[in-house]
Amino acid sequence: MAANQSEAGRVISEVAQAEGGTTKGSQSAQMQSELSKQRNFEETAAKVGSKLENAPGSITKEDAQAIHRVEARVSGGQQPQSGSMSSQAQHQAAVNQGATSTGNTTASVDSTTQSQLDRQANYEDVASKVGEKLASAPESISKEDADTMHSREHRAFGQTEKGGLAAQAQHQVAENQKPS
């Protein structure tokens, strides 16, 4: 992995030199951003993956949220697939909090935890729809889609992620509104 990262760094450096330096929006800046996203994902995946394998009872909702954020970022805002590490971590966190994957969580989860689980489920629902639109028909993204995505992401995670799905949807709306 270190060899691949140093090779990537060398290529980014060459591209930056060819561009006359790294500037915002340049190819080298975009390459550096993608490399950073990948590194963040790998670090978080190693931490959460180790916990899933060695101490699944220690997985928290914060672990699940962390891996979900970096997994979504590295995949270009696409929702992580069923069976991915983030979905496994979310399931394990819910189990650890006394919830079940069937959705019948109210009996064994306090109201604060249930509220957070509901906010995350609302986010997942909207993110799935908006992610699909971004992938298949970006011109169909509306301001309402972007606003809803922003709201759900902020409610579920307490912030919106730079470059995350809400940001991508808002950017696409701006692109869609530009005169042709």
Higher pLDDT, 24 or 1: 24
Helices of type H across 20-158: 27-54, 61-74, 85-96, 111-136, 143-157
Rounded alpha-carbon distances, angstroms, from residue 159 to 29, 69, 125, 138 = 24, 11, 18, 24
60-72 pLDDT, tens digit per residue, is 888 888 888 888 8
81-105 pLDDT, tens digit per residue, is 777 888 888 888 888 877 444 444 4
- Give the pLDDT score at 142: 93
pTM exceeding the 0.85 threshold for the entire prediction:
no
- The band of 17, judged by pLDDT with boundaries at 50, 70 and 90, is confident
What Rg, from alpha-carbon coordinates, does the chain have?
19
Burial of 7 (0-12, 13-18, 19+ CB in 10 A): exposed
